[in-house]
């Protein structure tokens, strides 16, 4: 077994191989950004259990155990397989084992006021990309975000021009097949939603195969004045999937952003969500559901930074854990001295269905302003016996009664997804999982 130092050196050698494969693109600003980020992660190493932010989620250890990083340049090819989302109305982008599958992607009659293109094309064609790419990561540094930047090659750039409303949701669908070998992917997505524009994105992840898949994703969203963004993440991979997902949002005056994160499976999943409210009358909503069993480990870390007056944030995360699954929630709300009249609410509720299931939860407030309205809280327990008795007294079986209560518990989160077919699809998945 390798030591942490040996492993980070392996990552460095993998970068040399990756760099050698970049024919003609080593002179771009992106490559300079890659080298800066690699230097940062080589200096810091990957966070272990002594790192407070990764105390319960030793993702670096999971990588050392399962992933030979040199595989980054030996990406596997796989056939694109159907997904349940294929029939939903909307624009579609498909990725298979880290590669864009252009043959299945369909942007149809996308307005000329909306740009959706690959990261590689954006580097060549978007003159102001340097201003945006990586700028939020610098405000919220994390070893895995740096790692993503170092190896970023595949991903999507989205720009919605001023006062443009995307008429249908955009689906970004990832399918990983590890039947033949392990798989690594570093996706980098960037969205600029200009003044008064609106965007809805559903990003769904599926996987098959017995070998390990490792996905490291960074999303940066710039929500300009009076813009609106709803981004929903569906994490539906199998028990061999390692995933670290970083969502970073920057909001300007009068903007609104909603991030929905639903995790129903996987081996180890870490979600980092950071939102900076950097002007007045900004509004952020964060909803999360983790419904897990087996030995699945899911860790949600959120951070909301209120920088200016009269901003609002609302956060609701719920967890249902069965068998030997492990959930982690760590939420922080920062209210800076200038952010008077801030309203901020944070809640994390959990149900443990097994004596072997574990939850570690830590809601936090750090407030420097004196005229604010902020609250946070968390609950952890089992199903309410009085509610069970009420249902059983009306002739409902115990299993059915438990399923009804769990479905209602999870429904508070799912109800916030505005795209109806996606909401109905998730409700059915949740019902099937609870009843089976």
From the list 230, 44, 223, the residue with the least C-alpha distance to 145 is: 44
**Short-list 286, 294, 304, CA closest to 265:** 294
Query: How far is Cα 418 from Cα 423, in angstroms, rounded to an integer?
Result: 7
What's the pLDDT at 302? 97
How many Å apart are CA 315 and CA 32, to the nearest integer? 36
Distance from C-alpha of 151 to C-alpha of 216, rounded to nearest angstrom: 10
Verdict on whether the full-model pTM lies above 0.85? yes
pLDDT for res 435: 86
**In what order do the strands lie in the sheet containing 312-321?**
99-100, 91-96, 170-177, 198-208, 228-236, 256-263, 283-292, 312-321, 343-352, 373-381
Residues 70, 97: Cα–Cα separation, whole Å = 16
Q: What is the spatial distance between Cα 155 and Cα 118, in angstroms, rounded to a whole number?
A: 6
* Burial letters 156-173, b for 16+ CB under 10 A, else e: bbbbbbeebebeebbbbb
Tell me the three state secondary structure of residue 81: coil
In this prediction, residue 60 carries a pLDDT of 86
Q: Which two tokens stand for residue 175?
A: 């399918």
Q: Which stretch of DSSP H or E encloses residue 201?
A: strand 198-208
The helix/strand/coil state of 367 is strand
Sequence-ordered list of residues with C-beta below 8 angstroms from that of 260, at least 6 positions apart, any chain: 230, 231, 232, 233, 287, 288, 413, 416, 417
Mean pLDDT for back-to-back runs of 10 residues, the chain (436 residues)? 71 87 78 92 88 91 81 51 90 90 89 91 92 90 92 93 96 91 91 98 95 94 98 97 97 98 97 97 98 97 97 98 97 97 97 97 95 95 94 94 95 96 96 88
**Residue-wise DSSP of 290-317:** EEE-TT-EEEEEEEEEE-SSS-EEEEEE
């Amino acid at each position: 077994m390798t030591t942490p130092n040996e492993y980070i050196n392996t990552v460095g050698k993998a970068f040399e191989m990756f760099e050698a494969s970049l024919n003609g693109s080593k002179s771009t600003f992106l490559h300079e950004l890659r080298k800066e980020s690699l230097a940062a992660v080589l200096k810091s190493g990957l966070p272990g259990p002594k790192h407070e932010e990764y105390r319960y989620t030793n993702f670096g250890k999971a990588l050392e155990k399962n992933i030979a990083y040199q595989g980054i340049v030996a990406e596997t090819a796989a056939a694109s397989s159907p997904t349940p989302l294929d029939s939903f109305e909307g624009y579609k982008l498909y990725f298979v084992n880290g590669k864009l599958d252009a043959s299945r992607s369909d942007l149809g009659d996308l307005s000329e006021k909306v740009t959706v293109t690959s990261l590689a094309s954006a580097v060549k064609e978007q003159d102001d990309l340097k201003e945006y790419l990586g700028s939020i990561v610098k405000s919220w540094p994390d070893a895995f975000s740096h790692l993503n930047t170092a190896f970023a090659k595949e991903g999507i750039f989205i720009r919605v021009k001023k006062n443009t409303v995307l008429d249908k949701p955009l689906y970004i669908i990832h399918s990983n097949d590890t039947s033949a070998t392990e798989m690594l992917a570093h996706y980098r997505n960037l969205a600029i939603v200009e003044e008064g524009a609106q965007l809805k994105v559903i990003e769904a992840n599926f996987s098959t195969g017995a070998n390990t898949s490792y996905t490291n994703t960074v999303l940066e969203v710039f929500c300009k004045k009076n813009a609106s963004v709803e981004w929903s993440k569906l994490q539906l991979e199998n028990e061999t999937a390692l995933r670290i997902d970083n969502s970073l949002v920057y909001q300007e005056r009068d903007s609104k952003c909603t991030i929905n994160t639903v995790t129903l499976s996987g081996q180890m999943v870490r979600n980092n969500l950071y939102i900076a409210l950097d002007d007045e009358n900004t509004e952020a909503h964060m909803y999360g559901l983790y419904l897990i069993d087996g030995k699945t480990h899911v860790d949600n870390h959120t951070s909301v930074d209120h920088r200016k007056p009269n901003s609002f944030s609302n956060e609701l995360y719920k967890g249902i854990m069965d068998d030997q699954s492990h959930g982690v929630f760590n939420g922080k709300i920062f209210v800076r001295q200038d952010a008077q009249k801030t309203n901020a609410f944070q809640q994390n509720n959990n149900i443990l269905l097994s004596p072997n299931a574990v939850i570690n939860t830590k809601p936090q407030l750090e407030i420097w302003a004196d005229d604010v309205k902020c609250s946070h809280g968390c609950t952890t327990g089992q199903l309410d016996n009085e509610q069970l008795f009420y249902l059983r007294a009306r002739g409902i079986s115990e299993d059915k009664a438990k399923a009804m209560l769990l479905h209602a518990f999870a429904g508070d989160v799912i109800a916030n997804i505005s795209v109806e077919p996606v909401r109905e699809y998730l409700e059915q998945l949740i019902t099937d999982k609870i009843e089976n």
